Structure 1
């Protein structure tokens, strides 16, 4: 993260059997990338892999090129990857 910002928001996408484990996996990935969240914002949502395309078109219409397509998303989730949304920085 650039040093001249106050912080950032980011959404994390990870496959898990429940939201507690999903949160732990996301935090572990953030920490391994040198990012240390000050808080976890609610709600924590569940997205079916089959709904990924609709979700990104609805939620991130200006950033569609940032995200993997449905097939790559499913493969990433099956392999245990944690994916990030674009970061939204603030002062």
Structure 2
């Protein structure tokens, strides 16, 4: 039987939380970002909605616009500019 190639395949180590970080933090849902803010993709594995692909974990991007509850973020991967739609619980502002 062939093995699965799902959206979260090979993500066992990348999408896990340490014991002290388990659970949902309300402040992650309530964050607001302005266009031009630099953000880093910090995927929260407990929330599946608006989750970007695991290849973007740890990548830096720039917020372009807000689209519904999510944000459009542009990032560069392999020399190409990618447009990612992610919810605020999966991105974190860089100061």
Higher RCO (CA < 8 A, seq sep 6+): 1
TM-score category of the 2 structures, normalised to the smaller one: under 0.3
TM-score, normalisation: structure 2: 0.25
The structure in which a higher percent of residues are helix is 1
Q: Higher strand share goes to which structure? A: 2
